[in-house]
Structure formats: structure tokens, C-alpha cells
Chains A and B, each alone.
Chain A
Amino acid sequence: QKEVEQNSGPLSVPEGAIASLNCTYSDRGSQSFFWYRQYSGKSPELIMFIYSNGDKEDGRFTAQLNKASQYVSLLIRDSQPSDSATYLCAVNIYNFNKFYFGSGTKLNVKP
């Protein structure tokens, strides 16, 4: 069983809509949860991280964590074509210096 699971997509949403990206993890020892955005051929770029149950908002982005259900999600409000990228979910398990990544969800925002 993989430590982190993501639907590979593609997830297609119209411009201005809310994009919802989901991630599940297997180890209850997971402590911190990260969302990275990666444009094709570029480096993963940190969007947000969350440690505690609940929601964390940063501009158009909201991360949601539910430890009981072992899932973390990323909501992107007012999606823009520039948000089209692959979104990677990553978790730390006991060790802040080692990430486990999901395989990523490709998001397409259509004008």
C-alpha cells in the first residue's frame, strides 16, 4: 500500500470554478501535510502546508485536513488557466526531513 494516494486526473474545471484536489494517506503517524504545484518541466513549488485538523486558508487556496479519515484536500477558488499544473500531495511520517509524495493530480482549468 502506498503511503500517499492521489487520483492522477486529469481534473478539468472551467475558469472561475472551484477545483477540489484530494489526497489520502495510510500512516496515522503522519504529522504534516503539504501541497506542491508543479508545472511541466519545472520544480515542485510549495503552495501550503497544514498540521492540524480543520481548514487553513491562504488567498485562493484552502487546505483541509481530516486525520480521523486520513485525507487532506486542496481547494482552489476562482480557478485560473494559470493554475493548470500537476498538484502533488506530500506527507511527513515521524520525520520532518523525509517526504512521501503522491503521484500527483493533473489539473486543467479551461478558459
Chain B
Amino acid sequence: EAGVTQFPSHSVIEKGQTVTLRCDPISGHDNLYWYRRVMGKEIKFLLHFVKESKQDESGMPNNRFLAERTGGTYSTLKVQPAELEDSGVYFCASSYGQGRDGYTFGSGTRLTVV
């Protein structure tokens, strides 16, 4: 089965611009998660979808971040406008049921804001 796929793998944008990250979960996985790792820090939770519904967005840093999962398939994470501190690696993960047995991560999108 195909894994979790993220696009793009790298993105370099200027401060103030908009960037949209995409995640395609494993087919049939209702649960989709976004995490990020900023430089020198641990990986941190951003939010969790069940199908198209946001179950928990407690980790979203501010209203410059908008996540969507239309139709309950792929998800996008938009940052608008991007700030320097948004630089880091954004990971997407998915699971069939709850994350009790862990989940499968994508390889991440490395975002650099200059």
C-alpha cells in the first residue's frame, strides 16, 4: 500500500508570502494528523482530523495557519502570511482508527521562510 505522501518536499518562501502544504494519507485512513518540528525543538502536534472534521486543533499556533480536509481525503495546511518562525519540518500522519497503536508518518515538508 502507498504510504503517506506530502508535497512539496521542500519550500522556500519569503516572509509575508503564502504557502500551502499538501498531505495524502494512506487510503482508507480516516484519521489524519499534522505535526511540525521547528529548529532545535521536538516534534509538536498541530491538529487532528477525523474524515473531514477537525477533532482537535489545540496545537495550531495562531490564525495564520489554516488546515482543511475537504471530502475527508487529502488535507492542506496553509500558512498566510508566513513568518520567519514558521520555518521547520511539517509532518503529516494517518491512522485507520485512533492512534492507540501509533500512526504512519509522511516524510515531511521542509519549509524555510526567508
Contacts and interface: CB of A to CB of B under 8 A. Distances in A.
Interface stretch (A9-17, A54-62, A74-82, A100-108): A100-108
Interface string A63-97: 00000000000000000000000001010100111
B88 interface: no
B100 A102 contact: no
B58 to A, nearest CB: 8
Contact of B4 (A43, A88, A100): A43
Interface string A30-61: 00101010000111111001000000000000
A105 B106 CA distance: 20
Interface of A: 2, 4, 32, 34, 36, 41-46, 49, 88, 90, 92, 95-104
A97 B48 contact: yes
Contacts, number: 58
Given A43-B91, A92-B100, A97-B31, 4 more contacts: A41-B107, A96-B99, A97-B56, A98-B56
B55 interface: yes
Interface of B: 3-4, 31, 33, 35, 41-45, 48, 55-56, 58-59, 91, 98-108
A43 B48 contact: no
Nearest to A5: B42
B104 A101 contact: no
A102 B43 CA distance: 7
B99 A101 contact: no
A95 to B, nearest CB: 7
B99 A104 contact: no
B91 A96 contact: no
Contacts of A49: 101-102
A103 B107 contact: no
